[in-house]
A and B are shown apart, each in its own frame.
Chain A
């Protein structure tokens, strides 16, 4: 039996987040400083701090003595963006372009799957709101309740802003209501670095989307890049379909 938050909890959380959306000044001038106040920041979930206006950079904790960066229970590492190009060049010289593309996708998929898992098990959101994560019937259950769909979409957008947009990968938007699920990335890091191409290049983005959605929705998904900025499109678009067992 899938564990969903009660309708009362969903409505209350939705009302609260709608109120915050309508009052950006209150968020900026009052709630954000509160979310970053020395004592409170230690106890609040990073997701709650995000709704209060904190950025991902406000929520990172750095232990310079140990060389460890923590984001709500997830350990993180900063790379210069040239890593994307250098990794592509080294992998394609070792195993060929086709296999390199597939490996980059697989690496991104596995890494993001683990990152989302650690975040949800860690300190990203109150557990009661994410008890459905990993249940194969989660997507149908979320889609069947418009309020829950709106709330989950808001939580997903916030998580995306934190780990994707403020992770330097471009601006991502996910439409959970559409079937298949549609994802767009504006200013995709991979497309930006690749320059002009005659085929889609965002294998890493495909893998990241697959990893995140597969963990959250308890099924294996396969992303297909239907438009790519490297081919001249305004932004990169992806469609996410359940992976057929081979």
Chain B
């Protein structure tokens, strides 16, 4: 990862983030009002709009006449959350549970991988930040520059938020950035529908997380669920390991 982001820009952006967090009411009222100005709204990347109190849904392109929706240049579709349970159940009936689990994992790995490759990062991040996710992250570079490391962490959280939390998949948190070893997910969508269960059930989530971390790290990563809310735990935990 070669980066040429001026330190001034990094510091300035982090100050903006700190401001919105230390003045949440002001941000909600004043910044949201400013963000409502149509020209400004269209010019701003999605992450800015979210920090200014906007909703991700306002950043979708919706063409109801043609029946098309897209986000950051990726066409999307909406399904009821029960969909994953229905897919898994039908697949398990046809090929057995073990094969169905592997198929759910592989399917969602590919879906997340293709989505990340197709995302227009310039629509999501300020132009100078988008370059952070075009190539795999170099942890040594982040270690040398704590501000850059913090910026990377913030942008990574934003990407997770947009692709998982605000898309109805549950809310993941990484134990470390940039590359996590363990991910905790609140309300993972599979655990809410395929329950109760005596064993972990979130194979689609595991595949999606593995694809996400593979994309940012540039290494082949596999995710394994070690604790699942479907078994009565408060949340789901995934361990991420390099593929042998």
Contacts and interface: CB of A to CB of B under 8 A. Distances in A.
Interface of A: 55, 57-58, 60, 62, 64-69, 74-84, 86-87, 90-91, 94-95, 99, 103, 106-107, 110-112, 114-115, 118, 161, 163-172, 185-187, 189
A79 B79 contact: yes
A115 B83 CA distance: 9
Given A168-B77, A168-B78, 17 more contacts: A55-B62, A66-B165, A66-B171, A67-B170, A76-B81, A77-B167, A80-B115, A81-B74, A86-B107, A94-B99, A163-B78, A166-B78, A168-B67, A170-B68, A171-B66, A187-B67, A189-B77
Contacts of A115: 80, 82
A107 B111 contact: no
B166 to A, nearest CB: 5
Interface in B58-77: 58, 60, 62, 64-71, 74-77
A69 B77 contact: no
**Which of B62, B79, B82 gathers most chain A CB within 10 Å?**
B79
Interface of B: 55-58, 60, 62, 64-71, 74-84, 86-87, 90-91, 94-95, 99, 103, 106-107, 110-111, 114-115, 118, 161, 164-172, 185-189, 192
B76 A80 contact: yes
Q: Which 5 A-B pairs have the closest CB atoms?
A: A67-B171, A69-B168, A115-B80, A75-B81, A78-B167
B187 A171 contact: no
Contacts of A83: 77, 107, 111
Contacts of A77: 78-81, 83-84, 167-169, 189
Given A55-B64, A165-B67, A167-B77, A64 B82 contact: no
26 contacts: A55-B64, A62-B166, A62-B168, A65-B171, A66-B170, A66-B171, A67-B171, A68-B168, A68-B170, A76-B78, A77-B189, A78-B77, A81-B76, A82-B111, A82-B115, A86-B110, A90-B106, A99-B94, A106-B90, A167-B69, A167-B79, A168-B68, A168-B70, A168-B77, A170-B67, A171-B66
A80 B106 contact: no
Contact of A74 (B55, B80, B110): B80
A80 B118 contact: yes
A163 B69 CA distance: 12
A112 B75 contact: no
Given A67-B186, A118-B80, A57 B67 contact: no
B166 A64 contact: yes
A15 to B, nearest CB: 25
Contacts of A114: 80, 82, 86
B66 A170 contact: yes
Contacts of A62: 55-57, 166, 168
Contact of A111 (B82, B99, B106, B172): B82
Given A77-B84, A168-B69, A84 B77 contact: yes
Contacts of A112: 80
Contacts of A94: 91, 94-95, 99, 103
A65 B164 CA distance: 11
A187 B68 contact: yes
Contacts of B69: 166-168
B57 to A, nearest CB: 5
**Which of A82, A106, A161 gathers most chain B CB within 10 Å?**
A82
A62 B55 CA distance: 8
Contacts of B94: 94-95, 99, 103
Contacts of B171: 64-67
Contacts of A172: 67
B66 A186 contact: yes
Contacts of A82: 110-111, 114-115, 118
B191 to A, nearest CB: 11
